[in-house]
Structure 1
Amino acid sequence: MTTIEVARHRTAGEVIGAARELVEPALRDAVNSLAPAMRRIAGYHLGWWDADGRVIDETGGKSIRPALTLLCAEAVGESVRAAVPAAVAVELVHNFSLLHDDVIDRDQTRRHRPTAWTVFGQGDAILAGDALSTLAADVVAASGHPHALEGVRMINSTVLELIDGQSADMAFESRGDVELAECQAMAASKTGALLGCACAVGGLFGGGSRDQVLSLGVFGSQLGLAFQFIDDLLGIWGDPAVTGKPVHSDLSNRKKSLPVVAALNSQTPQATELSRLYGGDGDLSAADQARAAELIDQAGGRRWSSDQADVLFDEAISRLATAGLRAGPVAELAEMARLVTRRDH
């Protein structure tokens, strides 16, 4: 009897490792093209060196977005190398947003060490973020790819959407009447847009059809929103050893994340008490943060957010099945989706 070997698809870790090998040299080349002051901050933020510029043996970000870009290119074509500039650009945009977010949210730590703005100052950290955003478009424009212009427009459109989402997020801080629908729209712009772009631009640079690029973009957007639901849960109940941030980090400054807004709109006694806590001035005390976490849970915000992440995950996977993609990369995209939504364990 003949044995038919079924090709083994890679784990999410293997996909990310392979993507990092391809993307990091090009990412370093891009960052090294910056002026010294901006290069120093960007390299520190990316985990390549310490505040004094000394090289350190430390892993930076997870490279999830570049991995998705390359995997989507592979899903529609044969080679991923043509999509490396797009993957670099996506990672640059991601880190532009992180640099700015840390300043806006006053976050003290990222990736288990001080955030760039606490080391170099707010102004320089903002400028470094601006530099990475501009560099992202330049990398795509200089790629020589037949769809480079469309790729630049995708990148720039995504940056504008990220900014719009961040602006809405900031506006929510001074409002007591944030509706669930507008909070979800904010999260779709702030997080879903970049994962959608990562997948769509990968499909574009991989030679995919218009329908395939669209389907991959929708997959990424749904996956990104599912990720935001999970990330917001971790921002309240996550393990600091895993998240790199203090417990209840999103509650200290009264952040109106998705579970919080769901609880505030629940029309329960817990919502009333939570509204009083969130209506004060200054940062919440540790005791108030713990109480707020209890109230959000009791009001259903925790369960609702988890359920929404489940629905979005299922919708994202379903989208892959109808896009006419290669089977192997589709299986690996599903593995990546499980990792992004913490379903890999």
Structure 2
Amino acid sequence: MVDPALRSALDELPASVRGVAAYHFGWCDEQLRPTGQRSGKAVRPLLTLLSAAALGGPAAAALPAATAVELVHNFSLLHDDVMDGDERRRHRPTAWRVFGTGPALLAGNALLTQAAVVLGDGASAVDQQRMLADTVLQLLDGQAADLDFEHRLSVSPDEYLTMAEKKTGALLGCSCGLGAVGVGADPITVGRLVRFGRLLGLIFQIVDDLLGIWGDPAVTGKPVHSDLRRRKKSLPVVLALGSRFTGADELADLYHGDRPLSDAELARAAYLIDESGAREWSRLRADVLRGQAEAQLTSAAVSGPGAAGLRTLADHLTRRTR
């Protein structure tokens, strides 16, 4: 359902940015030749469609909102890749590496603008546009905090989780909320679905942090120890640096230097973080958040295949390997 809607939305973009966006989605190669591929995991639009169905509405009615959140998500990815200097996404060069920084940023801006267009002007569209706009501001605030962390020697776990809930959780929460608003759910139910999505966002980010250090490059599409190579202050790193385990000072010396870390040093840093207990704590935290997310679904009284789909997706995000 979502892929054709996304392609239709991109067809309306100016030619100057359409090809860059299509490449980012994986639909064409560097010469803009069709690849026959589908877009990414589509977690956010799936949450929107399932939330609508779980509250008794037709999933198809939530398709414009599902399309809008995926456009916003990919706007953020295009910009994040530039800001983070990431050179690979989905097993191939990122859009900015192929087309340049300016075209990649412009394509991201176009996707953000098109999201508002896709929502249209229906009965619930005004509320949905307001929710989406507020979410984008939270996402940007979270990204700003993440960038700030790169220049700080110390970040607390609470600061990190607040950042992650904005940067990642806000859009997943909005995804669920848009589906609920679209089928006319009451504000309390909408709030519970939003909270469910935000908790999933925290889970998603924690698992992403684990994969950024210990993920299999053949599965994730990113280099081994990719987050450590950039000295990114992900949750396991923050926990390990703030702990009192015997290797904390050695890890700090590795992490706070200026020169590029060798492969051996990256492996040593990953080992020290694991030894600190931060890897296991992060996994356990994801499980705790999964239980809290389940409680929100129970309170929202969701039912049917849509509810089952939300629970299955939550389990998948907690256990994912890419």
Query: TM > 0.5 between the two?
Result: yes
Q: Which moved more, 1:201-210 or 1:35-44?
A: 201-210
Asked whether the equivalents of residues 207 and 286 of structure 2 are also in contact (C-alpha less than 8 Å), the reply is yes
**3-state SS of the aligned residue for 1:175?**
coil
Distance 1:206 1:71 in 2: 12
SS at match of 2:13: coil
Matched residue type, 2:68: A
Correspondence for 1:80 among 36, 42, 59:
59
Contact 2:54 2:302 in 1 (8 A): yes
Equivalent residue for 1:100, pick from 70, 75, 79: 79
Local SS of the residue matching 2:139: helix
* 1:341 aligned counterpart, secondary structure: helix
Q: CA deviation at 1:267?
A: 2.0
How far off is 1:328 after superposition? 2.8
Q: Give the gaps of 5 or more residues in structure 1.
A: 1-21
**Residue-by-residue CA offset, 1:158-213 (whole Å, 9 max, x unaligned):** 11111111111111111111111101111111111111010111111122221111
Percentage identity across aligned positions? 55
- Please list, as runs of the form range in 1=range in 2, the aligned pairs for 1:96-175 lying within 5 A after superposition: 96-140=75-119, 142=120, 144-175=121-152
Alignment of 1:53-64 (within 5 A): 53-64=32-43
SS in structure 2 of the partner of residue 220 of structure 1: helix
Stretches of structure 2 lacking an aligned partner (at least 5 in a row): none
Of 294, 306, 315, the match for 2:283: 306
Aligned residue-pair number: 321
2:30 to 26, 51, 54: 51
C-alpha displacement of 1:275: 1.0
Give 1:325 deviation, angstroms: 1.7
Paired with 1:51 and 1:206, the residues of 2 have a C-alpha distance of 40
Provide the residue aligned with 2:15 in structure 1. 36
Aligned to 1:295: 272
Alpha-carbon distance in 1 for matches of 2:125, 2:272: 49
Contact 1:72 1:206 survives alignment (8 Å):
no
Question: Are 2:253 and 1:253 aligned?
Answer: no
Q: In the aligned structure 2, how far is the partner of 1:248 from the partner of 1:48?
A: 28
Per-residue Cα deviation, 1:283-303 (whole angstroms, up to 9, x for no partner): 322111111101111111101
Alpha-carbon distance in structure 1 between the residues aligned to 2:116 and 2:262: 42
CA contact (8 A) 1:168 1:186 kept: yes
1:295-325 deviation line (CA, Å, top 9, x unaligned): 1111111011111101001110121011122
Distance in 1 of aligned mates of 2:122 and 2:51? 16
- In the alignment, the residues of structure 2 paired with residue 160 and residue 78 of structure 1 have an alpha-carbon distance, to the nearest angstrom, of 29
- Alpha-carbon shift at residue 28 of structure 1 (Å): 0.9
TM superposition shift of 1:343 = 6.1
Q: Which amino acid aligns with 1:258?
A: L
**Does residue 324 of the first structure (1) align with residue 301 of the second (2)?**
yes
Q: Which amino acid in the other structure matches residue 74 of structure 1?
A: A
SS in 1 for 2:169: helix
Q: What letter corresponds to residue 49 of structure 1 in structure 2?
A: C
Query: Which runs of 4 or more aligned residues in structure 1 lie more than 4 Å from their structure 2 counterparts after TM superposition?
Result: none
Taking structure 2 as the reference length, the TM-score comes to 0.97
Q: Equivalent residue of 2:243, what SS?
A: coil
Deviation at 1:327, TM superposition (A): 3.4
Q: Could you give the per-residue CA deviations for residues 3-59 of structure 1, whole angstroms, max 9, x where no partner exists?
A: xxxxxxxxxxxxxxxxxxx12212111111111121110000001111222111223
CA–CA separation in structure 2 for the residues paired with 1:244 and 1:337: 22
* 2:317 counterpart residue number: 340
- 1:7 equivalent in structure 2: none
- Identify the residue that residue 235 of structure 1 maps to in structure 2: 212
Matched, 1:213 2:190: yes
1:202 pairs with 179, 183, 189, which one? 179
